[in-house]
Structures are given as C-alpha cells and as structure tokens.
Amino acid sequence: MPDVSTLGRTDSWEGVRAVVAGFGTSGAAAVDNLLHLGASVHAVAESVSPRILERAELLEVLGARIEVHEGATATLPEEADVLVVSPGFRPDAPIIVAARERGIPVWGEVELAWRLRDPENPAPWLCITGTNGKTTTVQMLDSILRAAGLRSVAAGNVGLPLTEAVMDPEPYDVIAVELSSFQLHYTDSMSAESAAVLNVAEDHLDWYDSMDDYARDKGRIYTNVQRACVYNAADPATEELVREADVVEGARAIGFTLGTPAVGMLGVVEDILVDRAFIEERSTSAAELCTLDDLASTAPHFVANALAAAALARAHGISQSAVRDGLRSFRPDGHRIAVVAEHDDITWVDDSKATNPHAAASSLAAFEPVVWVAGGLAKGAAFDDLVTAVGGRLRAAVLIGRDRSVIAQALSRHAPDVPVIEVDTPETGALGELDLMRRVVAAAAEVAQPGDTVLLAPGCASMDQFADYAARGDAFAAAVQDHVRG
C-alpha cells in the first residue's frame, strides 16, 4: 500500500482505503475526487436528508460504499489508510480519536485539496479567515480578480468545494479561499500565496475549550505564507498571530486600518481607500484604490472587508483600476446589512448573517438610534462587551430565541435604561417562522420612532427557531413588508 502522505494528483491512489466522515458538500466532493483518483472510498455520515441520500445513490453507482444513519460515524472502519473529516467534527470525536490511536492520517477536505493541486498549473491560493466578514471579503476578492481578467473562483467555506476547484480540467489562474477555524484545524501542509485574518472574537466556544485554541486555529492560515500576511490594525490579536507565524522568508506583514495608513498598510484618507504597501514610493505617497461612494455600503466593517480584499489582490499584483472596478461592481449576498424597507421615516435592516456578538456589534456601530432585534443560540458567547460598547445607541431591544435571557441579562447589567421586549414563543416548530417574525416586527414598530433603524442583528445562530440565518432574514423581510403594507 503506498504511503498516502506522498500521494498527489498525478499519482495512482489504487489500493488506498479512504474513509470520509461527513457527507455534506465538501464531504461529497472529497468522495467523488478520491474515487476519480482510484482510491477505495467508504463514507460515513449521521445526517439524513433527501439531498444527502441523492448524493449517496450517485456515488454508490460510482463505486463508493456509503453509510448514512445514526451512529455511522461512531466508529472508524477497520480498513482505513486515511481519514478525511468534515469541519464539524470536534477533535475528540470517537472516529478521530480512533484514527489518531491507529496512526492513520486525519485530513480535512482543504488538506486533501492542497495535495491534489495540478503540479504543472498550481493556482495560487489567496486565503481569508476571521470570526466575521469572511464570505463578503472572499467574494469581494473574487470580484477584483475577475475585474483584472483572471479566471478566479471563490471556494472553500463558501462557493465551490476546494477539491472541485483544484481538480477542474481547466485550471484557474487564482483561487479566493474562505477558511473557517474548523477547516484550518485539519489543514497542515497548505502554503497560501497570501492570507488574511480579518478579526478574532468570541465564537464557537461550544467547539473549542478556550479562546486561545480558537485563535490558534485561525492563525494556522499564516503558516508558510509566501507573500503577505494581512492583518487588522484595529484587532491586535490578528497582528499577534502574524508575529507568531512561521512564514516563507520574504513574506511581508500588511495591515489595514479605517484611519490614515502608516507605511506598509492600506487605509482610508478623506473618504478614499489608499494603498501605502504595494507602491514603489510608499514612504512618501499613496495609491488611490477607490472612494467610499464606490462601495455598496459605508458601514465600518464593510469598508474594512474591502481593504482586506484589496490588500490580498495588491499582493497578487492586481492594478489599482481593477481593485476599483471589482469593488465598485460588488454587491453582498442577502442578509448582510440589507435595507428591507424605509417607511414612516423608519429604516428596517436585515443583517441576519450577524450570528455572533462581534458581528452584531459591527452592525450596530453603523446605525443610531437602533431598535435591536436579537437572540437565538448564543453558542456559549457572552454579550457584556457588546452591550457596553453600543448600549448608548439602543432605543430598545426585541429579543427572541432560546438564549435571549443571556442578552437580556447583559442589557440589565450594562444598559438598564434600554427597554427590553422578549417575544416569548413556543418551542421550535410550534410557531411558523413568518408568524414569529410578525410578532417581532409588531413589537419593534411599537417602540421605534422617526429616524430610528430597526436592525435584525441577532448575535446568535438561528437553528433553534429557523432553518438557517437566511430563513430568519427572509421571515424578517416578509414580516416587514406585511407591516409596511398595513
């Protein structure tokens, strides 16, 4: 049996017994491409849905053995030479513990993809992680790269699975890669051309034992970076991760800031995004990239995302005009600081994608005064820092979801004068998503005053009462439209 640690895209994988744990989009892509390479594949997954069963049926026809049922991932199959795990598996999951004990390599789909790059046309990876803003930033970056005439794709934690991107018969010129901390945990050999950590804030403490562990996984993105480690000057934790990183000799640390940039940074001067890092005379001048009016939003976190995307693009050699054109044409996906309606001098905004306190704080900082709609699954996060920072902006708070009491208690401690309305609802599924949001909108409308913004920035995950954050945002938008129509 060949040593799997030496195998790549052009090698024969015949005889390799690969186990794939998890059968979502990335897991299915891993199964498909391992079969293509000649490996014997045994996939196991717990979650059953029509889409997963359809994938299983197709891949079984191609030769994979698929087990999808409760308990399927509880044990590691006896015949295993490598385990490819989906990001949701904690390091203490029994199947991973068993693999470690048996000396079997444990890879994520990102690690597999890195090993399967075309040695003759290895498209460079421009990688992005962070607690918040990853998807927007990677899509901004992809827009810039396309504006420069490159064949680019957004892949990884958003868009195309990375194994599909690297195995595409027509090679990409460059890949804009979004990576979660979970994905980075199971990635060892990657060497990004450039990488950015946008921010590090409290999140996923139901998965990690500590914030240090979480930050450490975020910092893995900088390991072996070749050109530029991009960090957020407003978030010292990101700069510290750069300082600790083991990079390729010659790689530069590039900061971005919403203020005037120092030499070697990108920033904002008089409503203009400028570059003082990737120009010859950076000690005495700056290159204009675009204006704030060129962006789809001037919310501070949106501008910061644009600067990070620009930094990665400039590190790749992209021109000022292509950065401008890419940012000017970019429009964010739904449920990201999206104005739903303006009625009776009240603005209704859907930022359902703000699923943790840091994201909610960034959203709240863009508006004042605010009727804040929040709550859901807090995932172990606290809200004291958020309320301390933005309590003065709040007209009122309308709280929903299982962990709404966590937010209510933080408001009681740090902003006791802010009225709190708790929309008490039956257990999940007992009340329709739209009916729930109609109650929320009615409560918000009662306290909102002319000039206010009613902002859905939950600071929590959605799965206690909604299918996902998009369903939550859709229900909010529909309820607002019903309210506006009267």
pLDDT tens, residue by residue, 143-168:
999 999 999 999 999 889 999 999 99
- Supply the pLDDT for residue 201: 84
Residue 251: pLDDT above 90?
Answer: yes
Supply the pLDDT for residue 179: 97
Taking the CA atoms of 84, 85, 91 and 96 in sequence, report the sign of the dihedral they define.
Answer: negative
Residue type, 165: A
Asked if the model's pLDDT at residue 204 lies above 80, the reply is: no
Q: What does the pLDDT look like over 305-355, one tens digit per residue? A: 999 999 999 999 999 999 999 999 999 888 888 899 999 999 999 999 999
For residue 223, say whether it is annotated as part of any ligand binding site.
Answer: no
Confidence of residue 425 (pLDDT cuts 50, 70, 90): low
Residue 247 carries which side chain, given as an amino acid letter?
V
**Rounded distance, CA 471 to CA 473, Å?**
5
Annotated ligand binding at 136? The verdict is yes
How large is the angle between the packed helices 134-147 and 320-329, nearest 10 degrees?
Answer: 120
- Answer yes or no: is pLDDT of 427 > 70: no
Is 259 a residue whose pLDDT tops 70?
yes
pLDDT in tens, 120-140: 999 999 999 999 899 999 999
* 429 pLDDT higher than 70: no
Give Cα 206 to chain centroid, integer Å. Answer: 17
Residue 426: pLDDT band by 50, 70, 90 thresholds? low
Q: Is the pLDDT of residue 205 over 80?
A: no
Q: How far apart are CA 425 and CA 428, in angstroms?
A: 8
Q: Is 133 annotated as a binding residue?
A: yes
Mean pLDDT of the chain: 93
Q: Are 42 and 76 in contact (CB under 8 A)?
A: no
Asked whether residue 428 carries a pLDDT value surpassing 50, the answer given is no
Q: Once rounded to an integer, what is the mean pLDDT over residues 454-479? A: 94
For residues 194 and 178, is the Cβ–Cβ distance under 8 A?
A: no
Nearest to 338 by CA among 439, 213, 469, 428: 469
Confidence of residue 53 (pLDDT cuts 50, 70, 90): confident
End-to-end CA distance of the chain: 70
Contact assessment for residue 349 and residue 455, using Cβ atoms and an 8 Å cutoff = yes
130 assigned binding-site residue: yes
pLDDT bucket at 451, cuts 50 / 70 / 90:
very high
486 has pLDDT over 80: no
Enumerate domains of the chain plus CATH numbers: 16-104 (3.40.50.720), 113-329 (3.40.1190.10), 338-485 (3.90.190.20)
Q: What is the pLDDT of residue 280?
A: 85
Give the confidence band of 51 by pLDDT, cuts at 50, 70, 90. confident
More confident residue, 91 or 52: 91
pLDDT at residue 443 tops 80:
yes
Share of residues in the chain with pLDDT > 70 (%): 98
Query: What confidence score (pLDDT) does residue 437 get?
Result: 94
Examine the pLDDT at 172 and tell me if it is beyond 50: yes
157 assigned binding-site residue: no
